[in-house]
Amino acid sequence: MKKFTTINGDDEVEWDGVVLPDVIMEDILSRLPSKTLMKLRIVCKKWKIVISTSYFNSLHDEKSCKTPNLLLLSHIFSNDAFVLTTLSLTGDVLDQWNLPLRNLEMLPSQWGPKNLVCFVVGSKEFVLCNPSVREIFRLPRQPCSKRVGACGFCYLPSRNQHVIISLSGGEWQMITFSCINNLNDLHTYAWKPIKDNAPGKVMAGSRWGVSANGVLYWIGLTSSWSQCLLCLDLNKEKFFTVAWRDEIRRAFSWSLHELKGDLHLMTRRASTLSTLWKLDVTNQTWIKQYTIFMSVSNMRPLMECDDGELMFHDGLFLKWFGLDDEVFRLRRKGYDRLPHFGHMLNIKLHNDTLFL
């Protein structure tokens, strides 16, 4: 028998019990949601030590990424409330949170570890959120008081840093913070200008950038008013462009998506015909992957599944597109219809995230 130390208010109490090996304890605890782990940290010193290590955080991230959830942002007009709902892929509502914010939009972000959510509030202020534990962190205001014209949010695993990019008053700025720092100190950080000049402008319908492989992407226009992909390498802090193929240019709608860490472009040339392209980052060229016939015009890809299917949503339903038979199906009876808690503004993949 070994002695435990538990915390009872301000007092520490010792008691006899069986201590599990660290490896087993880490494996068990890493399967629990962040909200539960935050409570267990104050139960006993041993658990607090285990949960607070960087190795445990990495282990928890790894297991969370294997079971992604859906994050739904909705607006309830009757009381002007913005609701954030966490939904499992099996249909369970895991959490529902009335955000203490108004007039907000949720930025796209690459699904993966350290999966924070970034909101633009009132078109001027940036707010970070960890839905797993219901925490909100406000960032400092930008030097320019004008509204945000374009922006992007990205996590860089190589540097363990989050980056926010913003175009305001004609100037591109960025703010960077490390995940190992106390997120409550974000208000002390400062924006800095990006020295490199952008070789184009962001199109109005592509204000929120999509991140993949350490690069932020927007649909843009060159100085000669040709449509292109406007890109910002976050490691080098350099802008560049990728040209459209003729077939892409002839489409009448375009949307950017991140699937399995790579950038994809979905184009539409007819009311029911869409094409999904993948960006080859080595050669900066577009590779046509799938041509898909859709009965609904606003279908958007959410995830490329390991079982050879693409998950789509149209704001009302989830649908799975089989890559082998090229057929859409409602795979899970009773769950395919997304729950509605007001007007849905956005939906994204999300995984439980622990920041300590």
Tens of pLDDT, residue by residue over 9-21, are 444 444 455 667 8
Same domain, 29 and 167: no
Mean pLDDT of 222-230: 88
Same domain, 32 and 77: no
Same domain, 145 and 233: yes
Across the beta sheet with 161-168, the strand order is 148-156, 161-168, 171-178, 192-193
Question: What whole-number percentage of the chain has pLDDT above 70?
Answer: 89
Residue 85 included in any domain? yes
The mean pLDDT value of the chain amounts to 84
Residue 355 included in any domain? no
Same domain, 20 and 141: no
Same domain, 192 and 48: no
* Residue-number span of the structural domain to which 181 is assigned: 61-350
- Give the side-chain half-sphere CA count within 13 A for 249: 10
Give the end of a domain, one of 35, 52, 69.
52
CB 68 within 8 A of CB 351: yes
Kindly list the distances between the CA atom of residue 245 and the CA atoms of 47, 221, 223, 267, 272, in Å, as whole numbers in the listed order. Answer: 55, 14, 18, 11, 21
Same domain, 47 and 72: no
pTM of the full structure: 0.86
- 340 vs 9: which has the higher pLDDT: 340
Same domain, 298 and 248: yes
- 192 vs 297: which has the higher pLDDT: 192
Q: What is the pLDDT of residues 247-283, one digit of tens each?
A: 999 888 899 999 988 999 999 887 778 899 999 999 9
Write down how long the chain is.
356
Mean pLDDT of 214-221: 95
Q: What is the pLDDT of residues 299-315, one digit of tens each?
A: 888 888 877 788 888 87
- CA 224/CA 296 separation, integer angstroms: 34
Same domain, 312 and 265: yes
Same domain, 90 and 14: no
- CA 18/CA 300 separation, integer angstroms: 51
- Give the side-chain half-sphere CA count within 13 A for 255: 14
Give how many domains the chain has, as a whole number: 2
**Confidence band for 296, pLDDT divided at 50, 70 and 90:** low
Residue 182 pLDDT: 58
**Confidence band for 117, pLDDT divided at 50, 70 and 90:** very high
Same domain, 252 and 145: yes
Same domain, 264 and 336: yes
Residue 258 pLDDT: 93
Mean pLDDT of 99-111: 88
Residue 336 pLDDT: 65
120-124, 132-136, 178-182: lowest mean pLDDT where? 178-182
